[in-house]
Amino acid sequence: MFRKTLKTTAGVLFASAMCSGAQAQTLNYDVMSELFGEPVTNSATGKPQRASEVPASMVIITQDDIQRLPERDLPGILRHYAGVDMVRWTAGAQDVGIRGYNQPLSPRLLVLVDGRQVYLDHFGYTAWRTLPVQLDEIQQIELIRGPQSALYGFNAVSGVVNIITKNPLQQPTGFDVSVNTDFNGTDEVGAVFSFNRNDRVALRLSAGVGQEKETDYTEQYETTDDFFSTISYDAAEDIQLAGSVYFQFDAKTTGLMEFTHSHVNQLDMQPNFYTADARYRLSSARVRLERDTDWGLISASLYQNSGKLTSVGSSFAVADPEFIVPSENTVTVFQLQNLFTVGTKNTFRLSGEYRNNTLASSPDPRNGDTQYDVFSVSAMWDRAITPNLRSTAAVRLDNLELERTGEVDDIYWFTAEDFDRTITEVSYNVGLVWNAGERGLFRANASRGVQTPSLSEFGLTQLTGDPDNPSILDAGNPLLEPTIVQNYELGWDRALGSLADMRLGVFYQSSEDLKTFLSYHATLLPPEAPFASTRFENVGESSAWGMELELQGDAPFDLQWGLNYTYQSVNDDLVGITIERDYGEGLQTQRNRYTGFEESTPNHKVNARLHWERDDLRLGVFANYVDEVTYPDRYVIVNGTAPDSDISAYLALSFRADYQVNEDVNLSIVGRNVNFGSDGVRTNRATREESSFWVGLRANF
């Protein structure tokens, strides 16, 4: 039955209690998309919506889109979309930024798989190769540009990537396997098995194993500043395993149990542009229950991510091995949500979340655990003001209680008591969507996102040199303030006759209290600290504005085309942490921070694609243009000689050809960045990317 109409003035909780029930159903993406003739999602507000009704700048990348792109990994897929900055630092390490501010170990993007965070909480970044998901099992990738903290909490400040996998309860039993190889050290195999028993119980098992040959950076890097002295891996290696059981207990109740494990060795790029040999051993377990009740659609989710992460950078080479242990991080999250309608025009979501996040003392193991508990409450109100005008308002309150257990060695500048701290922050999203018929669809929204410091930024203890007389201490900073991102944007979607469909978005964004990575030189000296130390710092503010223009259409001869252009301009107002040092040539003033986005964010980016398809053949050609950038150097000597690193604009050309051998087997030949050649093109601070060619085989049984 539809719910009885209730007056909204009765109050949200009362209304929730009095509403008659709506039936629980996990969103059936395939059927819903066919029904409405467009993708559907619940990632923008928590409410099931057609893509056109979403009050945010959102891109939905379908499985079919994925199979058309000349890519093997998720960052590669994302780089073809407007507003996305993707940097491939090494074979294994890539970073994705939304609307600028990209950097190594980019902390501003929240990445989820079916709502479970897969970004790494100990340092707030995403190691993409660790994601326990195979491309073939993806239903769609939902990319939201702009802050979404009001729905997802901390760190969804530049955007969200929510990877939705296929629900085996909505799929037939089957087995998919895919193989890619370049016959030259880069190979990968992925397999997905789905078993559906009477639409009541379904199982999905997926596994992937791969290796990607590392570029020989030391020979190709053209300056005397050798960033890669610590290289030891000659390839990135990864294994991902995932097992999920889906339950349809009855018509109104669904459940999920899921376990994952990832095992990755790769060369990471750190924010100071040093590489590190990184080893990831990550596991997760999750249960989720959803039931339609007379009170609304209630869902509960409990998951735990645990990981052991070893990141050995060059500075460790002079550290005592006794004081180097892996980072052990455990995140436990419980979420409870009720989604319900009141009357015919209003949908509400009420939710609460508890999160415990613990990082054992590392790399120096002597200093107790850094941990916090977060209690959150949030609410969302979606109202259909008229059939063509819809408003959404969401607000969330997070209360973080930080602490450090145990004693801190007195060589560090802080004590355990410095961690007894509470952070309370409000985030919000408000939006309007107006469907003006043939004039198009107009969208306006404002949002406030909160990026809390990571546990490492709060509490890292890293000792270099003699433990009794350390040469320098790298330390967390329990006094760090969260970065606050405020975003305003306007969007306009419309059809340009039969020529093309257009999406246009304009945004303005400000970021307060940006954080910087550990500096190369000490920023704290005695008597401010017992020993020379460097620590994470807030370094000021920045603002950005930009636009995203997306066009796509059909052309004669069965051609489909797409073109998107991104303009973004960042204006930093950062505090320089300066120090004067005598290097034998007199005092020099150094700016000890690596943060700086004004020059490292490309102003212009263009992505273009052309597809042709007939019978069993499919061909696509792709172009990606990225404007010139300048990265901050590792240690900038203002009046000295160390220059910033200039990267010229580049154009990357790629292609993909597919042949459907029969109903079950597909062959592909892919060339990525084919114009880069074997010498490569320098695409970022560190890397000369080379051409990459591979063949792929996909089979479905």
Partner 1 sequence: MRNAIAASLAVFSFVWGEAAFAQMSERDLAIVGRALSFIEGSQSGERVVALIYDDAGQAEADALNAAMSGGYSARDITMVPRMVPLSDVSGGLAGADAAILLGGLSAGDAGISSTAASNGVLTVSSDMVCVQSGQCVMSLQSNPSVRIVVNESAASSASVSFTSAFSMMIERI
Task: Let me know: does 288 contact 120? Beta carbons within 8 Å.
Answer: no
CB closer to partner 1 out of 496 and 525: 496
Instruction: Show contacts with partner 1 in window 362-421 (CB under 8 A).
Output: 384, 387-388
What is d(CA 140, CA 28) in angstroms, rounded to the nearest whole number?
A: 12
Exactly one of 9, 321, 410, 437 binds partner 1 (CB under 8 A); that residue is 437
Q: Is the dihedral of CA 263, 265, 269, 274 positive or negative?
A: positive
DSSP 468: T
When the beta carbons of 24 and 652 are compared against partner 1, the nearer one is 24
Among 34, 466, 646, 664, binds partner 1 (CB under 8 A): 34
Q: Which of residues 484-503 bind partner 1 (CB under 8 A)?
A: 493-495, 501-503
The distance of closest approach from Cβ of residue 77 to partner 1 in the complex, given in angstroms and rounded to an integer, is 15
Name residues contacting partner 1, limited to 520-559 (CB under 8 A): 550, 552-553
Q: Give the residue, chosen from 121, 136, 292, 457, that forms a contact with partner 1 under the rule CB under 8 A.
A: 292
The nearer residue to partner 1, 243 or 553, going by C-beta atoms, is 553
Q: What is the DSSP string of 367-393?
A: S--EEEEEEEEEEEEEEEEETTEEEEE
List C-alpha distances in Å: 98 to 11, 546, 548: 37, 11, 11
Give the separation between CA 101 and CA 544, rounded to whole angstroms: 9
- Residues 325-354 contacting partner 1, CB under 8 A: 339, 341, 344-345, 347
Which residue from 39, 100, 459, 505 is in contact with partner 1, where contact means CB under 8 A? 39
530-555 per-residue burial string, b: 16 or more CB within 10 A, e: under 16: ebbbbbbbbbbbbbbbbbbbbbebee
How many CB atoms sit inside 10 A of residue 569's CB? Answer: 14
Q: Which is nearer to partner 1, 36 or 625 (CB)?
A: 36
Angstrom distance (rounded) from CA 621 to CA 4:
53
CB 267 within 8 A of CB 233: yes
52 near partner 1, rule: CB under 8 A: yes
Question: Are 144 and 159 spatial neighbours (Cβ–Cβ below 8 Å)?
Answer: yes
190 and 237 Cβ atoms separated by less than 8 Å = no
The C-alpha atoms of residue 147 and residue 158 are separated, in whole angstroms, by 5
Give the nearer residue to partner 1 in terms of CB position, either 382 or 689. Answer: 382
Cα 641 versus chain centre, distance? 36
The footprint of partner 1 on residues 558-597 (CB under 8 A) is none
Rounded to the nearest whole angstrom, what is the least distance from the CB of residue 493 to partner 1 in the complex?
5
* Torsion sign across C-alpha atoms 96, 99, 101, 106: negative
Closer to partner 1 at the Cβ: 387 or 586? 387
Query: What's the gap between Cα 491 and its chain centre?
Result: 23
Distance between CA 445 and CA 159 in Å, rounded?
14
Closer residue to partner 1, CB minimum distance, 222 or 438: 438
Between 1 and 586, CB nearer to partner 1: 1
CB of 593 to partner 1, least distance (A): 40
Contact window for partner 1 (CB under 8 A) among 241-249, 359-367, 437-445, 646-654:
437-445
Cβ at position 248, least distance to partner 1 in Å = 12
Task: Choose among 641, 652, 655, 660: nearest CA to 681.
Answer: 652
How many CA atoms lie within 13 Å of 449's alpha carbon, on the beta-carbon side? 27
Coil/strand/helix, residue 34: helix
Cβ-contact 491, 57 below 8 angstroms? yes
Closest to partner 1 by CB, 40 vs 127, is 40
| Single residue of 8, 12, 17, 30 touching partner 1 by CB under 8 A | 30
CA–CA gap between residue 47 and residue 384 (Å, rounded): 13
Q: Which is nearer to partner 1, 306 or 435 (CB)?
A: 435
List the one residue out of 187, 226, 234 whose CA is nearest residue 90: 234
Least distance (Å) from partner 1 to the CB of residue 342? 12
Which of the stretches 36-44, 241-249, 329-337, 672-680 binds partner 1 when contact is defined by CB under 8 A? 36-44
In the complex, the smallest distance separating the C-beta of residue 27 from partner 1, rounded to whole angstroms, is: 5
Minimum CB–partner distance for residue 369 and partner 1 (Å): 41
Applying CB under 8 A, which part among 118-126, 431-439, 613-621, 675-683 lies near partner 1?
431-439
Shortest Cβ distance from residue 494 to partner 1 (Å)?
Answer: 7
**Per-residue contact string for residues 656-675; x = within reach of partner 1 by CB under 8 A:** --------------------
Q: How far is the CB of 339 from partner 1 (least distance, A)?
A: 7
Which CB sits closer to partner 1, 238 or 550? Answer: 550
Selected binder of partner 1 within 64, 219, 438, 679 (CB under 8 A): 438
User: Which x/- pattern, by CB under 8 A, does the window 227-266 give for partner 1?
Assistant: ------------------------x---------------
To the nearest whole angstrom, how small is the minimum distance from the Cβ of residue 323 to partner 1?
53
CB contact at 8 A, 342 and 8:
yes
* Least distance in angstroms from the C-beta of 608 to partner 1: 15
Instruction: State how far the Cα of 265 lies from the Cα of 267, in Å rounded to an integer.
Output: 7
Task: Choose between 25 and 700: whose C-beta lies nearer to partner 1.
Answer: 25
Q: Which two tokens stand for residue 369?
A: 């655990």
* Per-residue DSSP letter, 74: H
CB of 51 to partner 1, least distance (A): 4
Q: Which is nearer to partner 1, 508 or 561 (CB)?
A: 561
8 Å CB contact between 517 and 489:
no
H/E segment holding residue 201: strand 201-213
CB of 24 vs partner 1, minimal distance in Å: 6
CB of 653 to partner 1, least distance (A): 23
Q: How far apart are CA 130 and CA 163, in angstroms?
A: 14
Nearer to partner 1, 439 or 581 (CB): 439
Half-sphere exposure of 66 (CA within 13 A, CB side): 20
Closest CA to 375 of 348, 393, 351, 340: 351
Contact residues for partner 1, defined by CB under 8 A: 1-2, 5, 22-28, 30-32, 34-40, 42, 47-53, 59-60, 199, 251, 292, 297, 339, 341, 344-345, 347, 384, 387-388, 435, 437-438, 440-441, 493-495, 501-503, 550, 552-553
